[in-house]
């Protein structure tokens, strides 16, 4: 039976311009996600009136996600560089900040000619499983799907990266270090395709260093030359999640000989996404664009 993804892309090949121009939201798994047995309350925006706003605007915080999705945003054909990025919003593995660190990121990526694939992964943590495992399964599946359909999407399968924020930064780093084998039974041909990102961008990442162990590198991150992709990191020194996450991971990348670039800023806190404020840290998208161009990921 054709998956919803295959159906959408077959329509693209048949020539449906309006569909190509609009974002396409796809169910990540053709049936239930692997290991899903518990019934969660309905998925909902968990934002409360008392929650922190960012740059004068609220944030959409999706919770109770049991049916993960992948939404594809394609740039204008005249701008398309052939690069693509899987976007992993943050939320402490409890919610998914889908606009601040998802749809708004997709708009920026499209503006510089990059196809964006926004991942709404499973949250909150499932009892008895590592907190990151269902999201990692979703991320592996998503990256493989994007690469498997590279021709239909008009992208280069050798220039597909991942960008993550906060817990999504940890998820992106996990994907960058756990791509040799799937963490779930293979579903279809897309799972035969490599899910290794070609580059990784980590913005105010969490869980890379363990505060309770004097900020030792998280042992789940098996950084190694030739396997871990080139990585960009940006973080503020006053981030309450602790700047050591970036420092320790950058040091591990250097020791392993993995190309890496890191930008630290004195102030800025956490969770600003792409919303520009007076804090210089919010200029990080400019630095990422420079890095992508210098490394050859943004070929015209």
Query: Beta strand pairing status for 69-73 and 24-27?
Result: antiparallel
Residue 12: the pLDDT is: 41
**106 Rama class: left (phi>0) / alpha (psi -120 to 50) / beta:** alpha
This prediction has a pTM of: 0.92
For 18-29+48-294, which CATH superfamily applies? Alpha/Beta hydrolase fold, catalytic domain (3.40.50.1820)
Give the sign of the dihedral formed by CA 252, CA 196, CA 243, CA 279. positive
Q: Which residues of 113-125 are buried (b: 16+ CB within 10 A; e: fewer)?
A: bbbbbbbbbbbbb
- Residue 299: the pLDDT is 77
Rounded Cα distance, 283 and 276, in Å: 7
Cis preceding linkage at 70, omega within 30: no
Helix and strand numbers (H, E) in the chain are 8, 13
- The reported pLDDT for the residue numbered 21 is 55
**pLDDT of 31:** 92
Whether 96 and 88 have beta carbons less than 8 Å apart is answered as no
Burial of 127 (0-12, 13-18, 19+ CB in 10 A): exposed
- Rounded Cα–Cα distance for residues 105 and 110 (Å): 9
Residue pair 173/200 in contact (Cβ under 8 Å)? The answer is yes
- Domain segments of the chain: what residues? 18-29+48-294
Contact 115, 73 (CB under 8 A): yes
Quick one: how far is CA 246 from the chain centroid? Answer: 17
Query: For every one of its 300 residues, what pLDDT tens digit does the chain have, with 9 covering 90 and above?
Result: 444 444 444 444 344 333 345 899 999 999 999 999 878 999 999 999 999 999 999 999 999 999 999 999 999 999 999 999 999 999 999 999 999 999 999 999 999 999 999 999 999 999 999 999 999 999 999 999 999 999 999 999 999 999 999 999 999 999 999 999 999 999 999 999 999 999 999 999 999 999 999 999 999 999 999 999 999 999 999 999 999 999 999 999 999 999 999 999 999 999 999 999 999 999 999 999 999 999 999 976
Say what the pLDDT of residue 37 is. 81
Beta strands in the chain (DSSP E): 24-27, 44-45, 61-63, 69-73, 84-88, 96-97, 115-120, 160-165, 200-203, 209-210, 216-217, 231-236, 260-265
| Rounded Cα distance, 106 and 114, in Å | 8
DSSP state letter for 156: -
């Amino acid at each position: 039976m054709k998956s919803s993804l295959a159906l959408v892309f077959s329509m693209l090949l048949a020539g449906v311009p309006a569909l190509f121009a609009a974002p396409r939201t796809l169910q990540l798994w053709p049936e239930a996600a692997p290991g899903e047995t518990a019934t969660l309350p309905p998925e909902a925006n968990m934002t409360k009136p008392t929650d922190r706003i960012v740059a004068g605007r609220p944030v959409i915080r999706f919770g109770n996600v049991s049916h993960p999705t992948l939404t594809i945003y394609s740039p204008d054909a005249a701008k398309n560089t052939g690069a693509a990025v899987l976007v992993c919003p943050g939320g402490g593995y409890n919610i998914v900040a889908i606009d601040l660190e998802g749809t708004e990121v997709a708009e920026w990526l499209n503006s510089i000619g990059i196809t964006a694939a926004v991942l709404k992964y499973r949250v909150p943590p499932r009892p008895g499983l590592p907190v990151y495992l269902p999201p990692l399964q979703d991320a592996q599946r998503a990256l493989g799907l994007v690469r498997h359909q590279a021709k239909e999407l008009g992208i280069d399968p050798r220039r597909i990266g991942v960008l993550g924020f906060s817990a999504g930064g940890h998820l992106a780093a996990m994907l960058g270090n756990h791509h040799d084998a799937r963490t779930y039974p293979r579903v279809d041909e897309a799972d035969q395709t490599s899910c290794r990102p070609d580059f990784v961008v980590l913005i105010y990442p969490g869980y890379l260093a363990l505060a309770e162990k004097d900020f030792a590198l998280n042992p789940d991150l098996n950084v190694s030359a030739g396997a871990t992709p080139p990585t960009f990191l940006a973080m503020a020194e006053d981030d309450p999640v602790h700047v050591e996450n970036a420092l320790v991971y950058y040091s591990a990348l250097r020791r392993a000989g993995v190309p890496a670039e890191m930008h630290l800023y004195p102030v800025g806190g956490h969770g600003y996404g792409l919303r520009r404020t007076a804090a210089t840290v919010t200029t990080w998208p400019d630095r990422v664009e420079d890095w992508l161009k210098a490394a050859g990921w943004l070929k015209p």
